[in-house]
Amino acid sequence: AMAEEAKKLAAYAAVDNHIQNNQVVGVGSGSTIVYAVDRLAERVRQEKLNIVCVPTSFQARQLILQHGLSLSDLDRHPDLDVAIDGADEVDDSLTLIKGGGGCLTQEKIVAGCAKHFIVIADFRKDSTALGQQWKKGVPVEVVPMAYVPVSRAITRRFGGEAVLRMAVSKAGPVVTDNSNFILDWKFEHVQNWKEVNTAIKMIPVAPIAGIDIRVQLSKRRVQLQAQQLILR
Ligand code: DER
């Protein structure tokens, strides 16, 4: 389908343009990154690249192992050259919503350890304002015992509704790779995402908001690979 082709084209372009030899690469999670890892593995084989990969989820770790790529972690490689990942939505100032795949926490940690953060977002993710295309809200990872107080703190302060993400192939809530729960915060109109991101992070028991703010990533080039080739 057109969307899959767009994801693949964007992922291939991102890997071809932003991954070089002798790099430590943070590997994101989701479905777009599958194409990126396919292409990375192809390049490693063809160009005999020396690449070390740090995963952001069980899924990413499986992808790295399945492709025979060199697996590492933040203990051995706390300084990454580049992290490459997907996103659920991107606005005009490159503020992202991430966490649709439930992997936002390790993604955010690994991206924070990288000099450059490459976001692969095909045309479907490209919005002028968050919430335009992505209707599932902002994922917020929480310690399970705190999901009710955190949910109330968010909705009291910023309105909307924060809903516990329930599993599909398992009874009960989704449990993340960090053994936490996820609240999907169906926000209304948000003026200042930086303020919201900071406020959510300040709620006791340290919930993690699936918002990447350009200002946080200003130290590293945030390169949005919005793929329009298909629509040309
Ligand atoms: O969980 C995440 O943030 C992932 O990057 C994910 O939501 C992106 O998903 P997709 O590549 O399957 O659209």
pLDDT tens for 73-86 read 999 999 999 999 99
**CB of 100 sitting under 6 A from ligand 1:** yes
The mean per-residue pLDDT over the stretch 2-17 comes to 93
Q: Which residues pair with 52 in a beta bridge?
A: 24, 70
Distance from the alpha carbon of residue 88 to the mean position of ligand 1, in angstroms: 6
ipTM of the complex: 0.96
Rounded Cα gap, residues 94 and 90, in angstroms: 5
The pLDDT assigned to 23 comes to: 98
The answer on pLDDT for 102 being more than 60 is yes
Residue 141: pLDDT band with limits 50, 70, 90: very high
The pLDDT assigned to 220 comes to: 42
Of these residues, 47, 107, 141, 161, which one is catalytic? 107
Taking only the tens place, the pLDDT of each residue in 152-204 is 999 999 999 999 999 999 999 999 999 999 999 999 999 899 999 999 988 88
Higher pLDDT, 93 or 60: 60
